[in-house]
Amino acid sequence: MADDLSTDGAYVTPGSDFTRDTNYIATRITRDGRDGYPVEAGRYRLIAARACPWANRAIIVRRLLGLEDALSMAIADPIQDDRSWRFTLDPDGRDPVLGIRFLSEAYDRRESGYPGGVSVPAIVDVPSGKLVTNDYQQLTLDLATEWTALHRDGAPDLYPHALRDEIDTVMAEVYEDVNNGVYRAGFATEQEEYETACAGVFRRLELLAPRLERQRYLVGGTITEADIRLFTTLVRFDAVYHGHFKCNRWKLSEHPVLWAYARDLYQTPGFGDTVDFDHIERHYYQVHTGINPTRIVPLGPDLSGWLTPHHREELGGLPFGEGTAPGPVPAGEEVPERGRP
């Protein structure tokens, strides 16, 4: 993760704290091609899973920036097997562009016997079939800053230079306590470990609430990368983190400020139209067998609240700054009806 768990529930190791694998391939795709991979329309393919919050970031950024024609996208099956992410949603179980059945094949072409987890998001070089990068923290920032020549007209500035220090600070705090905190709580095997992580999740959310009570977005008056990173955890909160990961001091829908903030983003083009609640729930409940051995997927929660008025526009701010909203979701990339409220 990013998401790299196989069906054996391997994140749960009795007697040891959950530690996220950070052994990522840090190759970058840049304007000058200094790592051997220059920005080039049509050359690369984004491999994502709608189930995964880290991959969801990349899907949102790609859509907001209008990179759909420049960077094609494959969606992996939310249910992994012992070879991790697979393309069983596609005809014959193969990605139609890369011709592979498992994302691990692209990893192996880059480095035989790659020691890290097979994670999404990942970007693959189509001509060679090799993985370029799975560094999810840097990947979206590069899409925002290195791929500018291929951005759509009216694309927002998701990482404005004048605000980067504040954005970086907020993102670091959100990552430690919220994005990764829910996983540390969910995969804890000791009571104290769980309580520490869970308390950290809610402490950080409660610290963010006053900021979001007085301003529409986390940093400045427009959507930035910081909002995207918080959103992909919040949108999964009631569906999976509250119950499955035991982050249950309160539901997102019970917190007026954060719930309105999350609904505002969900209803913004480029956010909610990338979210597949069906993929999310089936992945967490059926893949994490270490904490849900029956693999039963709950019927709830009721998702209709995501479409209710939020009134956040009264705080001012412009979601896309001087830019514009993205156009319609490209044909073939729509979230199926069963995954929407």
Mean pLDDT of 214-239: 98
The model's pTM: 0.95
Q: Indicate the pLDDT class of residue 3, thresholds 50, 70 and 90.
A: low
123, containing H or E segment = strand 122-125
CB 28 within 8 A of CB 142: yes
Burial 287-299 (b: 16+ CB within 10 A, else e): bbbbbbeeeeeee
pLDDT value of position 7: 39
Average pLDDT score, the chain: 94
Our answer to whether residue 198 is catalytic in this structure is: no
Residue bearing tokens 């980067």: 164
Phi/psi of residue 61, nearest 5 degrees: -60, -45
**pLDDT tops 60 at residue 330:** yes
Contact between 121 and 57 under an 8 Å Cβ cutoff? The reply is yes
159 is catalytic: no
Q: Is the peptide bond before 14 cis (omega within 30 degrees of 0)?
A: no
What are the helix (H) ranges across 88-224?
104-110, 136-145, 164-174, 181-186, 191-214
- Residue 44's pLDDT is 99
How many residues are listed for the chain in this entry?
341
Taking domain 161-339, whether its CATH number is 1.20.1050.10 is answered by: yes
Structure-derived torsion over alpha carbons of residues 29, 326, 275, 185, reported in degrees to the nearest 10: 60
Per DSSP, the three-state class of 45 is strand
pLDDT digits (tens, 9 = 90+) for 173-190: 999 999 999 999 999 999
**Which residues have a Cβ under 8 Å from the Cβ of 15 and sit 6 or more positions away?**
189, 190
What pLDDT sits at residue 114? Answer: 86
Q: How far apart are CA 186 and CA 292, in angstroms?
A: 11
Sequence ranges of the domains in the chain: 161-339
Q: Give the span between the Cα atoms of 180 and 197, in whole angstroms.
A: 9
Beta pairing class for 122-125 and 130-133: antiparallel
Region of 133 (left: φ > 0; alpha: ψ -120 to 50; beta: rest) is beta
Q: Per DSSP, what are the bridge partners of residue 84?
A: 81
- How far is Cα 257 from Cα 209, in angstroms, rounded to an integer? 6
Q: Using 50, 70 and 90 to split pLDDT, how confident is the model at 6?
A: very low
The DSSP element (H or E) to which 259 belongs, if any, is: helix 256-266
pLDDT at 275 over 60: yes
User: How far is residue 234's CA from residue 232's CA, in Å, rounded to a whole number?
Assistant: 6
Catalytic residue among 37, 52, 194, 284: 52
Q: Examine the pLDDT at 11 and tell me if it is beyond 80.
A: no
Q: What's residue 20's pLDDT?
A: 53
Tell me how crowded residue 328 is: count the other CB atoms within 10 A of its CB. Answer: 9
